[in-house]
Amino acid sequence: MVENREEFQTLDYEEEDNNNLLKKSLELIFLGLMLSVLSIDISILSFVLPFFGYLCLILGLRTLRKENKSLKIAYLIVDVQLMLLFFTTILSSTIYNSYLINNVPYTFTIVILKSILVIAFLISLRIGLLDIQKKAGIDDRLKSLTYLSEWYGVLIVLGMFHAGFLLAMIMLIAYIIILVKVNKEFHALSSLHDYVCYADNKISNKIFVILTLSSFLVLIILAYTFANSYPMKWTEFNQKEDKEIASIKMELVKKGFPVEILKDISTEDIKSCEGVVDVENNEDHRHDFNEYDGIAWHYIPICVKIKTKDEGKYDYRIFNYFRWDDGMEFYGTEFIDASCVRRHTMKGDFGGRVLYDKEENSYVAPFYWVDKSTYVANSMTGRNSQVEGVMASFSFPKHAKNARGYIAYTVEEEWGQKSYIESNFSYTHQKALFQYPVITAKDYRQNKRMNMFYFSDVFVTNNIGLSFYHSVE
């Protein structure tokens, strides 16, 4: 037995038994504390460091969990932390992570839960190690774990108030000082290995690590494989038409509406063109999203001028039609945003859908998500104007051929005489699979902070602005 403080503090560690399980366990626990307590919210580091940190803590506590109740509780808490990390990491590897990016209740709950678990773990660990000291007849020498718990509590408070760089550096320096003290105290504590009751683990640490890593990797691979695109409601394309629809289609073709594109337009959108006066086709805007593989995307805008019941007034139905050549380099999430810039107000319902070919059949589906958009645009003259539009999210199935679609909206003319419509259209395409955390094309397009970061290697956006000119009859 170690009888006094001096002997406890001046033990010659180099002469310790190589089979000191307590020393090995404490080294793993110390390494786990370094990696797991201080999280770094940068891409994959946000889960890699905590994962290996929790793994080290579990390996260290697997041997000590039978010593006393507190160490067993600490072991169970780390198990819960690892399972929570599994859940958040796998969820962040799917497109469903996008629903939680700006979900304050979810984020707040996860942060609070993680904080409670960390503090509860540190308290349980300290009490458990103190019990080992008491068995050896030694007073409390584990002040550093108390300091670490207090440090983490301060970190939570500062996180709520978005502390600046100076405070962050002070907290980092304090963290390093506390870890040095923890390491020193653990080193001294390792001399008490004769007083510890060790657990008899039937599964070795090596096998445990292999099984845990394998499970983690399999789940992430499954998430990336089966949850990287929207679950679209595809049905075989079989559009039925009555005489009224056939008549409107004939008038549209006479006025210049492209026949091949008209085949993809829904009966509801064709009916919205009743009373067509004129059709203006704009040029085919071809864009190479990847110039090396020859994959091209086409945008064909069409404006249909429609006579209203009010004498001398017209509505304009804008069709934003897009089409891929033979395929894409990656089939993930897509996002489109169409708007009419000035002098016109959106009215009525908007329409649209997506289609693709497989063998000799065509398939059609509604957008996964579609909604109106309203925002304020700044002009060169300094005057701001409100812009109305429509945006939609969707996905194409893997290996889809002739992938295509359109989104349409109606605007009413507010100025008489000769008028023109300014229309904007943007298409955001996901060109690669690997990203963490996973975001959708919609997230990328609507979050400027993401555009400035590494997600620019995963997504690409094509913006097109054009004008349609019409004369009032």
* Per-residue pLDDT tens digits for 382-397: 455 556 778 999 999 9
| pLDDT on residue 280 | 85
Poorest-confidence range of 5-9, 65-69, 108-112, 120-124? 5-9
Mean pLDDT of the chain: 82
Q: 319 by DSSP, 3-state: which?
A: strand
Beta bridge partner(s), residue 302: 281, 319
Whether 468 and 423 have beta carbons less than 8 Å apart is answered as yes
| pLDDT on residue 469 | 63
Q: Which amino acid type is present at position 50?
A: P
| pLDDT cut 90: percent of the chain above it | 36
Residue partners of 245: CB distance under 8 A and separation at least 6: 267, 270, 271
Q: What are phi and psi of 413, to 5 degrees?
A: -75, 135
Question: Which one, of 148, 144, 86, lies nearest residue 119 by Cα?
Answer: 148
Q: Which residue has the higher pLDDT, 290 or 263?
A: 263
Whether 59 and 209 have beta carbons less than 8 Å apart is answered as yes
Max Cα distance, the chain (Å):
106
| pLDDT on residue 233 | 95
| pLDDT on residue 40 | 61
Element (H, E) at 296: strand 295-307
**What DSSP assignment string belongs to 330-360?**
----EEEEEEE-SSEEEEEEEEEEEEEEETT
* 453 secondary structure, DSSP code: T
Question: Per-residue pLDDT for 6 more than 60?
Answer: no
Question: Per-residue pLDDT for 164 more than 80?
Answer: no
Question: Per-residue pLDDT for 1 more than 50?
Answer: no
Q: At what angle do helices 104-135 and 165-189 cross, to 10 degrees?
A: 30
CA dist 452 → 137, 444, 449 (Å): 59, 10, 5
pLDDT tens per residue, range 180-212 = 999 999 988 888 888 888 888 888 889 999 999
Element (H, E) at 105: helix 104-135
CA dist 205 → 60, 75, 213, 255, 363 (Å): 9, 15, 12, 76, 52
Task: Give the position of tokens 């980092």.
Answer: 172
| pLDDT on residue 32 | 93
What mean pLDDT is predicted for residues 277-294? 68
For residues 428 and 297, what is the distance between their CA atoms, to the nearest angstrom?
11
| pLDDT on residue 466 | 74
Instruction: Report the relative pairing of strands 235-236 and 459-470 from DSSP bridges.
Output: unpaired
Poorest-confidence range of 49-58, 101-110, 180-189? 101-110
| pLDDT on residue 381 | 47
Peptide bond into 437 cis (omega under 30): yes
pLDDT tens per residue, range 349-377 = 889 999 999 888 999 999 999 988 765 55
Instruction: Count CB atoms within 10 A of the CB of residue 236.
Output: 9
* Most confident range, picked from 6-10, 22-26, 46-50: 22-26
Question: Which one, of 407, 403, 376, lies nearest residue 391 by Cα?
Answer: 407
